[in-house]
Amino acid sequence: MPQIKVGCDPEMFIRDKRTGKIVSCHDLLPGTKEKPFRVPGGAIQVDGTAAEFNIDPATCSSDFNFRIQAVLGEIKKRLGENYDLVFEPVARFDKEYFDKLPKSATELGCNPDFNAWTGSVNPPPDASGDMYGVRTASGHIHLGWTEDQDPTDPSHIMDCNLVAQNLDYYLGLPSLMWDRDNTRRKLYGMAGAVRYKPYGVEYRVLSNSWLASSDLIRYVWNSAYQAILALFQNQKPMAELLGDSARDILGKNQMWWVEKNSKVYKTMQNYVTFPPNKYWEKDKKEAPTIEKKVANHKYGKRPMYSLDDDF
């Protein structure tokens, strides 16, 4: 089995402590999309009004968390004591402030991504009308299991789509337990959103909310690894077990699937590790008690693990 690596390139907003308001990052940090600024563990850059960073891919959740914290430390050092990092999916800027920002900071200009369920190109975001001045921050995950693949090769695309469909169940649906915001999904992050890479796939569904907790950071690595490991171990893909239910659930920001009598929950509990209940934003009276479980693979049931452990 090839070595599986997991990386990320999240975005975050910057708050001015002196005013309490979110401000544009365009003149606060070095680095651009074309030329990221290298720091220990990864690189940083400006992405419109947000700060963005990437990390060197990690082969365990401890390294994943360590590299993220190292790069965040570098960002904080460069921002200075007057600014905070904000790990929230959406920021709405005042029109007067937003209108004065340079075009380079306000234009969206993001390359298109694809829908792993349909194979089609996702529509470009529309930030006009009621969405004017709204900007979003994502928490994209990169999974590598190969190298030097042609991103346009149909066979590679098929593999990437299968991985992304699994990720919708292993990570997309569980992310609703700690992130119920649906504004961002009007612009970015619909179910199965991917880009095809020579090393594997970029999974573009998650917001940046998981960055707020080291437990969730390690959970994201472990769940991403689990989603692809299951396929390498010849476990049935979740799409074969549950079809494309994840598309509708994520698209409508629904939580009915966590009820214990739902087919989705009853199936997922045998394969997917859920986050601890303390991260759920769901009302406690509605939320069932879900214990962490791991996949019951063909090669035998794996032991339960804590968020501090790695596979």
Residues 120-138: tens digit of each pLDDT: 999 988 888 888 999 999 9
Which pLDDT score is estimated for 288? 33
pTM of the model: 0.89
pLDDT of 298 strictly over 70? no
**Alpha helices (H) in the chain, listed in sequence order:** 61-79, 95-99, 103-106, 154-167, 173-175, 214-232, 238-242, 245-251, 263-268
Give the residue, 283 or 27, on which the prediction is more confident: 27
- Class of the CATH domain delimited by 5-103+113-121+136-301: alpha beta
Tokens of 153: 């090769």
Nearest-angstrom CA–CA distance, 45 and 53: 6
Percent above pLDDT 70 for the chain: 88
For the segment 214-229, the average pLDDT, to the nearest whole number, is 96
Nearest-angstrom CA–CA distance, 237 and 227: 9
User: Could you tell me if 168 and 191 are in contact, meaning their C-beta atoms sit under 8 angstroms apart?
Assistant: yes
Q: Are strands 37-39 and 42-47 parallel, antiparallel or unpaired?
A: antiparallel
Phi and psi dihedrals of 92, rounded to 5? -115, 115
Nearest-angstrom CA–CA distance, 305 and 311: 8
Range among 9-13, 106-110, 131-135, 290-294 rated most confident: 9-13
